[in-house]
Amino acid sequence: MNSFFKTVAVTAVAAAALMGGTAVQAEGERYILVSHAPDSDSWWNTIRNALALAGEQMGVEVEYRNPPTGDIADMARIIEQAAASGPDGIITTLADPDVLGDSITAAVDAGIDVIIMNSGTPDQAREVGALMYVGQPEYDAGYAAGLRAAGDGVTSFLCVNHVISNPVVAERCSGFADGLGVDLGDSMIDAGQDPAEIQNRVIAYLNANPDTDGILTLGPTSADPTILALEEMGLAGDIYFGTFDLGENIVAGIRDGVIQWGIDQQPFLQAYLPVVVLTNYHRYGVLPGNNINSGPGFITADGLEMVEALAGEYR
């Protein structure tokens, strides 16, 4: 019994010590970044690294928040909560404007400066009263990718969507289809988040539709298992394969010729620039006049070294 309580006490003290360690107050302004990403989405690691780096360089306090299961309604509560804690600025995605719009507008009305990053459009950002939008216009990026693939002779494709619940991300697929000049139809599959499931669904689709000559994945979550699926089917390097976002496996895939190109929306800039913009706005009253497009940038086998060195960390 005694030792039991001792364990509990030690745990509590350790927890309190850790908590103290993370709650250190930095000098200056305080900014909160709220994303829509579930805990399982490793792509956001770059965002967190860039956010921390920007906070360090600018001498401001930064915090990262996300809904653990990716539930957008929970995210709305997190934005309300962030606003209630009275930060100088909130940087957030606009994964679903219907759900998040009111919470963001209320924060803006309460005197907090908001920058929309990653998901959303410049128009939507203006509607909710944000200062600007920093990110990659998804449809346009998909369209550009579609044109490129059409030029390379692709005629039909599979779009592996691991975030079917986010309509903004799905626009990449429809943009790609339009750029390619084909009907989206059943080309987009709901792959889920589990690697093994994604792999099997890609295999199943390609078996059922053997004339598919192009694949588009929407991020490392869907790209990594797709690479494995293609290797298993002996199609790696044979089938035209483009992807959004970067990660270690994607970079390796580009180097090995399995993936033709990766579209980098440069998440680093999406987290870094809003902190810099907000800090300078609050300190010196200067604000860029336009939205900032962080992407799309096509990454191919040329000039891959630096990308390779920093993939998954800052790229």
Q: Which residue ranges make up the site for other proteins (CB under 8 A)?
A: 8, 11-12, 15, 18-19, 22-23, 39, 63-66, 68-73, 76-78, 80-86, 96, 98-99, 102, 105-106, 108-111, 129, 164-165, 167, 190
Taking the C-alpha atoms of residue 125 and residue 50, their distance in angstroms, rounded to an integer, is 22
Buried b (16+ CB within 10 A) or exposed e, 17-28: eeeeeeeeeeee
Between residues 68 and 257, which has the closer beta carbon with respect to other proteins? 68
Distance CA 113, CA 194 (A): 37
Q: Where are the alpha helices (DSSP H) in 211-266?
A: 220-233, 248-256
Residue 293 phi, psi dihedral angles, 5° rounding:
-85, 115
Q: Which of 142, 165, 232 is nearest to 195 (CA)?
A: 232
Task: Please identify, using beta-carbon distances, which residue of 56 and 232 lies nearer to other proteins.
Answer: 56
Smallest separation (angstroms) from other proteins to the CB of 201: 14
CA 228 to the chain's CA centroid? 22
When the beta carbons of 13 and 204 are compared against other proteins, the nearer one is 13
Tell me the closest approach of the beta carbon of residue 190 to other proteins, in angstroms.
7
Nearer to other proteins, 52 or 292 (CB): 52
Its sign, for the CA torsion 138, 143, 148, 154, is positive
Q: How far is the CB of 88 from other proteins (least distance, A)?
A: 13
The DSSP output letter for 85 is T
Tell the smallest beta-carbon distance from residue 237 to other proteins (Å). Answer: 33
| Closer residue to other proteins, CB minimum distance, 64 or 314 | 64
Minimum gap (Å) between residue 77 Cβ and other proteins: 6
Instruction: Please identify, using beta-carbon distances, which residue of 96 and 138 lies nearer to other proteins.
Output: 96
- Shortest distance, position 71 Cβ to other proteins, whole Å: 6
